[in-house]
Amino acid sequence: MFQQIQLILKPRCRGFHLVTSEILSQLPTLPKVGLLHLFIQHTSCGLSLNENYDPDVRVDMETIFDRLVPDGHPSYVHTLEGPDDMAAHAKSSLVGASLTIPITDGRLNLGTWQGIYLCEFRNEGGQRKVIATIMGE
């Protein structure tokens, strides 16, 4: 069985946002066993799995990424869309645009402390579209 749907994530400001519940609320009933593939259709944000309990991790992740790839660096050539845009593209490449999560007994088989993050790298990224492909039996 294959199913594919588009999910819409509400607009968020820059940061690492736990969106596991928002994604689950838009998914159909999951198969007993299978895989969920999530693909974000944007080049200035990403998807990641990380700590789902302590919100300090999300704050620290933003600090780390902002130090690795600062906004408005004078060597950037792509500057037409604002000082946060080129840095957002680079951060998106570092994080990635997709996740694959196993489905076991009709539920996402995430680790105890794992959650799905929307990594928003623009100051105002807007609504984000995610393609969810469900494979299973």
pLDDT band at 27 (very low <50, low <70, confident <90, very high): very high
pLDDT band at 102 (very low <50, low <70, confident <90, very high): very high
What does the pLDDT average to over 40-67?
98
What does the pLDDT average to over 76-89?
95
Contact present, 77 and 5 (Cβ < 8 Å): no
pLDDT band at 56 (very low <50, low <70, confident <90, very high): very high
Amino acid 134: pLDDT: 98
* For the chain, the helix, strand and coil percentages under 3-state DSSP, each to the nearest 5: 20, 40, 35
Amino acid 54: pLDDT: 97
Amino acid 42: pLDDT: 98
What does the pLDDT average to over 7-12?
98
Burial class (CB in 10 A: 0-12, 13-18, 19+), 1: exposed
Q: What is the pLDDT of residues 61-71, one digit of tens each?
A: 999 999 999 99
CA-only gyration radius of the chain, Å: 16
Amino acid 117: pLDDT: 98
Amino acid 82: pLDDT: 93
Q: What is the pLDDT of residues 105-133, one digit of tens each?
A: 999 999 999 999 999 999 999 999 999 99
Amino acid 112: pLDDT: 96
Cα–Cα distance list, 132 to 4, 8, 11, 16, 53 (Å) = 6, 10, 18, 20, 24
